[in-house]
Amino acid sequence: MTIIFLFITALAFTQSADQFSATVSKSEAVFVLPVDTRDKWTWQRADTRPNAQEYRMDVTLKNEDKEYTFGFYLWRRANARSGSGSLKDLIAAGQKSLFERGESRLMTIIHGADVKVKIKDKRLEISVHSGDDLKRLFSGHPTEATFKIKYPDSAEVIQKVPIVYQ
């Protein structure tokens, strides 16, 4: 019985991992992850406490002894009106940012970073195009990226993926 359970778990993990990709070229880095299929997305929900993170779809990697996290984020602002709409509407309502983890272990936003987030083929695509940002993130050729997906009322998804260099 245990062997069958382990096989099914490994099979599910493999299929899930295939939905993620991390590709870096000289001119861009593209990270693709799955998203839920929903008729309507909601944000700035009344049942979310103020300043709490409602959505997170991002990538974390380590390059030359520094850790970076970048992608899509949406926090519930105090006194904000709730919103709803398509996935494209949700993405427009949130922020696209790059953070660096400092020695204090706190995350600091890197202002002016060229992080783009869009829907492509029913998946979310996070990309970086600026030469400075590409150098900051990939100069040491990190080999692995960790994707994190968090939605309200859902368990967080964490998936490690090898980075492919072209």
**Three-state secondary structure readout of the chain:** CHHHHHHHHHHHHHHHHCCCEEEECCCCEEEEEECCCCCCEEECCCCCCCCCEEEEEEEEEEECCEEEEEEEEEECCCCCCCEEECHHHHHHHCEEEEEEECCCCCEEECCCCCEEEEEECCEEEEEECCHHHHHHHHCCCCCEEEEEEECCCCCCEEEEEECEEC
- Whole-number pLDDT of residue 3: 43
pTM: 0.86
pLDDT on residue 2: 43
Each residue's pLDDT tens digit, 91-123? 999 999 999 997 777 889 999 999 999 999 889
The answer to which of 13-17, 104-108, 123-127, 159-163 has the lowest mean pLDDT is: 13-17
Kindly report the CATH number that applies to the domain delimited by 21-165: 2.60.40
